[in-house]
């Protein structure tokens, strides 16, 4: 078995178990544990409990790997592989009872920094709708047992998605960016979970996605899904505090890149 297959099998298994825990806790009622960078940036008890479960399962299975998660301290490992984890991506949806939330787990090799790591495997599991997206480097992207591909030509305008940072001072700039890209859009979605936006680009449910200021755990698994579904993923403005991630099929990616480079 290749290392990629071993890692994606583990990511999928742990994402399912973690997702079931998140769904159970949601049904019992969600309690806000704290706010983080701003009032909108929340963490629930379930985020912490689910991350603890994921961390424990990964440590049991692969004790030499590193860990980089949204809710706990990072830890470096000996194996050269790091797990990049968002226990509940779409926390605001989760807190409000909107089913668009997901567990996102990726295994990356090398320095665990976007632009430097090599993604080997990823799983994005949406427990409320029981959809499991997986990808292993060189092995394609999958929704369950269905192989995924991004959309290619989009003559009628692209169905795009984006997200907004939690810091209110960034909203004007992000809204100006939205105005710019509407020239090529059929319509725009803001569904509230970056990992699922990327999974949907991989599945051809969206033609493209862009967002500034994502954290590594928001996109590590989803970006691999898009790449393995034949799409392109770029990060621009990487020197800024809020680099822009762009993910789409080749044609829409080129159009987005041309427009978004002008907003930098
Ligand atoms: C957030 C979601 C959201 C995106 C934010 C992320 P979280 O992650 O992915 O869609 O717009 O940038 O921070 O906080 O729910 O894990």
- Choose one of 120, 147, 174: the last residue of a domain: 147
174 lines ligand 1 (CB under 6 A): no
Instruction: Output the pLDDT for position 235.
Output: 97
Q: Do 53 and 136 sit in the same domain of this protein?
A: yes
Instruction: Output the pLDDT for position 181.
Output: 97
From 218, 241, 243, mutation site for ligand 1 pocket: most ligand atoms within 8 A of C-beta: 218
From 90, 104, 167, 242, mutation site for ligand 1 pocket: most ligand atoms within 8 A of C-beta: 90
Residue 168 lies inside a defined structural domain of this protein: yes
Atom of ligand 1 nearest to the CA of 195: 9
Instruction: Output the pLDDT for position 264.
Output: 66
Q: How far does the centroid of ligand 1 lie from the alpha carbon of residue 2, in Å?
A: 32
From 161, 192, 221, mutation site for ligand 1 pocket: most ligand atoms within 8 A of C-beta: 192
The pairing of strands 81-89 and 66-69 is: parallel
Q: Do 75 and 98 sit in the same domain of this protein?
A: yes
Task: Find, among 263, 6, 8, 243, the residue nearest to 133 by Cα.
Answer: 8
Instruction: Output the pLDDT for position 20.
Output: 98
Q: Do 176 and 103 sit in the same domain of this protein?
A: no
Q: Do 9 and 138 sit in the same domain of this protein?
A: yes
242: region left, alpha or beta (phi > 0 left; psi from -120 to 50 alpha): beta
Atom of ligand 1 nearest to the CA of 214: 12
Q: Do 72 and 183 sit in the same domain of this protein?
A: no
Q: How far does the centroid of ligand 1 lie from the alpha carbon of residue 162, in Å?
A: 10
| Residue 120: domain span | 3-147
Specify the CATH number for the domain of residue 72.
3.30.540.10
C-alpha dist (Å) from residue 24 to 17, 20, 28, 61, 127: 11, 6, 6, 24, 10
Q: Do 70 and 166 sit in the same domain of this protein?
A: no
Q: How far does the centroid of ligand 1 lie from the alpha carbon of residue 165, in Å?
A: 8
Residue 139 lies inside a defined structural domain of this protein: yes
What are the average pLDDT values for consecutive 10-residue runs of the chain, which has 264 residues? Answer: 97 98 93 77 88 98 97 95 97 95 98 94 98 98 97 91 93 96 97 98 98 97 98 96 97 97 78
Q: Do 14 and 45 sit in the same domain of this protein?
A: yes
Residue 152 lies inside a defined structural domain of this protein: no
Q: How far does the centroid of ligand 1 lie from the alpha carbon of residue 254, in Å?
A: 25
Q: Do 79 and 204 sit in the same domain of this protein?
A: no
Instruction: Output the pLDDT for position 36.
Output: 77
Q: How far does the centroid of ligand 1 lie from the alpha carbon of residue 88, in Å?
A: 9
3-state secondary structure 154-191: CCCCEEEEECCCCCHHHHHHHHHHHHHHHHHEEEEECC
Specify the CATH number for the domain of residue 238.
3.40.190.80
Q: How far does the centroid of ligand 1 lie from the alpha carbon of residue 255, in Å?
A: 24
Q: How far does the centroid of ligand 1 lie from the alpha carbon of residue 31, in Å?
A: 18
For residue 255, the surrounding DSSP H or E stretch is helix 250-262
Phi, psi for 197 (deg, rounded to 5): -55, -45
192 lines ligand 1 (CB under 6 A): yes
Q: Do 104 and 183 sit in the same domain of this protein?
A: no
For atom 11 of ligand 1, the residue with the nearest CA is 163
244 lines ligand 1 (CB under 6 A): no
- The pTM of the full predicted model, rounded to 2 decimals, is 0.96
Phi, psi for 214 (deg, rounded to 5): -65, 150
Total domain count, the chain: 2
Q: Do 125 and 10 sit in the same domain of this protein?
A: yes
214 lines ligand 1 (CB under 6 A): yes
Q: Do 75 and 143 sit in the same domain of this protein?
A: yes
Q: Do 246 and 176 sit in the same domain of this protein?
A: yes
């Amino acid at each position: 078995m290749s290392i990629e297959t071993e890692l994606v099998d583990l990511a999928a298994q742990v994402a399912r178990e973690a997702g079931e825990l998140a769904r159970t806790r949601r049904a019992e009622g969600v309690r806000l544990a704290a706010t983080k960078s701003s009032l909108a940036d929340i963490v629930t008890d379930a985020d912490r409990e689910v991350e603890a479960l994921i961390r424990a399962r990964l440590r049991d299975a692969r004790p030499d790997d590193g860990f980089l998660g949204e809710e706990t301290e990072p830890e470096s490992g000996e194996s050269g592989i790091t797990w990049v984890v968002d226990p509940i991506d779409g926390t605001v949806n989760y807190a409000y009872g909107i089913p668009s939330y997901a567990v996102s787990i990726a295994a990356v090799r090398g320095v665990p920094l976007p632009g430097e790591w090599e993604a080997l495997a990823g799983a994005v599991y949406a427990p409320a709708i029981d959809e499991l997206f997986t990808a292993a480097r060189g092995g394609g992207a999958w929704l369950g047992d269905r192989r995924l591909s991004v959309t290619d030509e989009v003559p009628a305008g692209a169905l795009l998605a984006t997200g907004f940072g939690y810091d209110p001072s960034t909203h004007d700039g992000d809204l100006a960016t939205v105005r710019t890209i509407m020239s090529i859009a059929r319509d725009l979605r803001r569904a509230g979970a970056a990992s699922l936006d990327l999974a949907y680009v991989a599945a051809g449910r969206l033609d493209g996605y862009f967002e500034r200021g994502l954290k590594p755990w928001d996109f590590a698994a989803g970006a691999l899904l898009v790449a393995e579904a034949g799409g392109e993923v770029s990060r621009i403005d990487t020197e800024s505090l809020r680099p822009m991630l762009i993910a789409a099929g080749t044609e829409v990616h080129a159009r987005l890149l041309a427009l978004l480079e002008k907003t930098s």
